[in-house]
Amino acid sequence: MKIIMLGAPGAGKGTQAKMISEKYGIPHISTGDIFRANIKEGTELGKEAKSYMDAGKLVPDELTVRILLDRVAKEDCRDGYVLDGFPRTIPQAEVLDEELKKKGDQVDRAINVDVPDENIVGRMSGRRACLKCGATYHIEHLPPKKEGICDACGSELVLRDDDKPETVKKRLSVYHEQTQPLIEYYEGKQILCTVDGTKDAREVFAAIERNL
């Protein structure tokens, strides 16, 4: 089962991807993680990607797909995988489809975790992070025992720049312009399933299970 996760930043698609991965025993593949792994290991693909990043350029779609296909060719992906963070645009989706088709393969399901913008701004601006140990909290849904202090290491919690309302609104604007068209793209291929991401994570997952 080859699954693509769609949804705005902060919609909770990463959480759902992990739950799908655990339930069905298929790897959760985040493109950010693959890039970091290739660069850290000094692979040829990693070196090529790093040369673009060091120059402050975007990694071309063709190279991103090559790095992704290298990952999904590994033994643990034999029964499928969940892609999180790719594709982000229709051209990326088309390149991915073409390359999978060459291997006699295809995407089976695209899952859209749908959450209104105002909910996302509220969710993300409530996040607090510990820069020392990486633990994350939410002032409403997962507060620390002591306000502003990390339970794990006692360091101060901060609102990251990425989670500030003005940054979130900018990210949502980019999402609507570049990534949202993928919903129609996969709908046209009759493999899209949309779930209400405003509900509790377990309820969202139950809806995904019914669709799978």
Active site residues: 13, 88, 127, 160, 171
* Residues 113 and 5: beta-carbon distance below 8 Å: yes
Burial class (CB in 10 A: 0-12, 13-18, 19+), 54: exposed
Closest CA to 89 of 174, 196, 16: 174
Query: What is the CB-side half-sphere exposure of residue 169 using CA atoms within 13 A?
Result: 4
